[in-house]
């Protein structure tokens, strides 16, 4: 009897489980969101719920690792590095840090600092005039940290160039090599080595941004003339290599490591570099330095003409009907000057142009010794780099409708015009 009851109980449980299974299948088949995984599945169908679910955390996909650039590209970039490394290693031993104490320093405190570079085995060093002017004591620090005093040999405030001299062993003196600033082109890469903010032996790289700039001479800036003159420092090189206070007097180099200029000034509203720096061209340096070593000063040639400073011949040619489009329109000649003695003529009448009086009717200088000049800065640059007092020059002059050759014997520039 017990066996019969137990068997009957098991049969009821199995029937109940089967009925539940059939109900679940029916419910799933009627669910509109359910779909069959495989229509070909034999026997019991396999169903899945198609409702979309959002993961709790979205994992970012890992970016592909970049492929290493070809070795040839790396070697090409490294070649440029090696050029700059070589320039620095060859030239830096010639570059020095200069510190000065002036007449107003207290307890021997240093008043100013700058840079310079060795030019011969006699111990001569080139720097800026404004670095060492009125110095009581000059301290020179070489790249290896050796410090010595220097003597001021000569100073030229027109070009902002000075020469100092140290008495050291010749083995410590490794002179620089000079290039040719007349061969420079805008866009060429350049290197500056100096001591910005006293940070010794710093190198920066840039390009030549412009050529033929003219800056007021240091003599005009500092007001060292009893009668202010009108001389500019011509043929200035503009670069974008970073130059800051302390770089003054340091070399600007070409890609062969030759000096092509001397860092002299920056254009800034803040006192630090803002992308524009200027250098005295090396051809001017080579013209000035021998005179400074020999006599301590520089004798500049003097012509004795004045022009209207606000306008060039190129600006005046069309509105005023000038016969040429470039040159130097003479406003007047100074009494007893070389130009006056040679018979050059100044203007004869004033006309109003853009609110300013312009004197016209004078000679227009278009060439010197057969070299055409566009403006007064080019004429001044030629005189500074190629002539000396006492030289006789040939000026090509347009006078009215005629072109004349006028011989002029140059005088010596003084503090006047």
Give the span between the Cα atoms of 250 and 264, in whole angstroms: 8
Under a CB-based contact definition with an 8 Å cutoff, are residues 410 and 387 in contact?
yes
pLDDT band of 53, cuts 50, 70, 90: low
Q: Which architecture does CATH list for 181-295? A: Beta Barrel (2.40)
Annotated catalytic residue within 202, 235, 248, 337: 248
Q: What is the pLDDT of residue 414?
A: 73
Closest CA to 96 of 178, 234, 195: 195
Per-residue model confidence as pLDDT tens digits over 322-362: 999 999 999 999 999 999 999 999 999 999 888 888 999 99
Per-residue model confidence as pLDDT tens digits over 264-273: 876 655 555 5
248 is a catalytic site residue: yes
pLDDT beyond 60 at 412: yes
Give the span between the Cα atoms of 168 and 249, in whole angstroms: 20
29 is a catalytic site residue: no
Annotated catalytic residue within 115, 124, 160, 202: 160
Indicate the CATH number for domain 301-412.
2.30.42.10
Give the span between the Cα atoms of 396 and 367, in whole angstroms: 5
Q: What is the pLDDT of residue 401?
A: 84
Per-residue model confidence as pLDDT tens digits over 158-213: 899 999 999 999 999 999 999 999 999 999 999 999 987 777 788 999 999 999 88
Q: Domain map of the chain by residue range? A: 91-172, 181-295, 301-412
Closest CA to 369 of 298, 287, 303, 284: 303
pLDDT band of 45, cuts 50, 70, 90: very low
Please say whether the dihedral angle defined by the alpha carbons of residues 394, 398, 403 and 406, taken in this order, is positive or negative.
Answer: negative
Decide which of 223 and 82 is more confident.
Answer: 82
Please give the angle made by the CA atoms of 292, 165 and 267, to the nearest 5 degrees: 70
130 is a catalytic site residue: yes
User: For 361, what's the count of Cα atoms within 13 Å in the CB-facing half-sphere?
Assistant: 8
Q: What is the pLDDT of residue 83?
A: 93
Closest CA to 354 of 318, 321, 310: 310
Q: Give the chain's mean pLDDT.
A: 82
pLDDT band of 112, cuts 50, 70, 90: confident
Give the span between the Cα atoms of 116 and 99, in whole angstroms: 10
Q: Which architecture does CATH list for 91-172? A: Beta Barrel (2.40)
pLDDT band of 29, cuts 50, 70, 90: very low
Give the span between the Cα atoms of 358 and 348, in whole angstroms: 10
Count CB-CB contacts under 10 A for residue 223: 8
One fold for both 91-172 and 181-295? yes
Decide which of 255 and 195 is more confident.
Answer: 255
Q: Who contacts 232 (Cβ-Cβ below 8 Å, separation ≥6)?
A: 214, 215, 216, 217, 377, 380
Annotated catalytic residue within 101, 113, 124, 130: 130
Please say whether the dihedral angle defined by the alpha carbons of residues 404, 324, 181 and 306, taken in this order, is positive or negative.
Answer: positive
Give the span between the Cα atoms of 151 and 214, in whole angstroms: 30
């Amino acid at each position: 009897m017990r066996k019969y009851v137990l068997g009957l109980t098991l049969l009821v449980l199995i029937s109940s489980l089967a009925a539940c299974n059939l109900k679940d299948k029916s419910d799933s088949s009627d669910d509109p969101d359910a779909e069959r995984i495989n229509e070909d599945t034999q026997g019991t169908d396999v169903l899945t719920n198609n409702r979309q679910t959002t993961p709790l955390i979205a994992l970012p996909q890992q970016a592909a690792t970049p492929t290493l650039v070809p070795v040839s590209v790396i070697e090409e970039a490294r070649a440029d590095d090696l050029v700059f490394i070589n320039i620095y290693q060859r030239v830096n031993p010639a570059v020095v840090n200069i510190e000065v104490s002036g007449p107003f320093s207290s307890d021997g405190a240093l008043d100013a600092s700058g840079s310079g570079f060795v030019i011969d085995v006699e111990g001569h060093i080139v720097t800026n005039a404004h670095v060492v002017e009125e110095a009581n004591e000059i301290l020179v620090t070489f790249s290896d940290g050796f410090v010595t005093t220097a003597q001021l040999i000569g100073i030229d405030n027109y070009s902002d160039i000075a020469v100092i001299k140290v008495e050291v062993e010749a083995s410590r003196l490794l002179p620089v090599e000079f290039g040719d600033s007349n061969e420079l082109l805008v866009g060429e890469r350049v290197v500056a080595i100096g001591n910005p903010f006293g940070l010794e032996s710093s190198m920066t790289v840039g390009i030549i941004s412009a050529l033929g700039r003219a800056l007021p001479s240091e003599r005009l800036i500092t007001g060292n003339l009893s009668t202010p003159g009108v001389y500019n420092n011509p043929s200035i090189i503009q670069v974008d290599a970073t130059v800051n206070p302390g770089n003054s007097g340091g070399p600007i180099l070409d890609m062969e490591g030759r000096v092509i200029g001397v860092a002299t000034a920056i254009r800034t509203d803040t006192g630090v570099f803002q992308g524009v720096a200027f250098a005295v061209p090396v051809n001017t340096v080579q013209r000035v330095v021998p005179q400074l070593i020999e006599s301590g000063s520089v004798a500049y040639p003097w012509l004795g003409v004045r022009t209207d400073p606000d306008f060039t011949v190129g600006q005046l040619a069309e509105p005023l009907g000038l016969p040429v489009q470039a040159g130097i329109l003479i406003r007047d000649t100074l009494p007893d000057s070389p130009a006056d003695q040679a018979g050059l003529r100044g203007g004869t009448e004033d006309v109003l142009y853009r609110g300013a009086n312009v004197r016209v009717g004078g000679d227009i200088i278009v060439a010197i010794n057969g070299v055409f000049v566009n403006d007064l800065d080019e004429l001044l640059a030629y005189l500074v780099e190629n002539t000396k007092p006492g030289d006789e020059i040939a000026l090509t002059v347009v006078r009215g409708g005629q072109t004349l050759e006028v011989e002029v014997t140059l005088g010596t520039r003084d503090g006047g015009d």
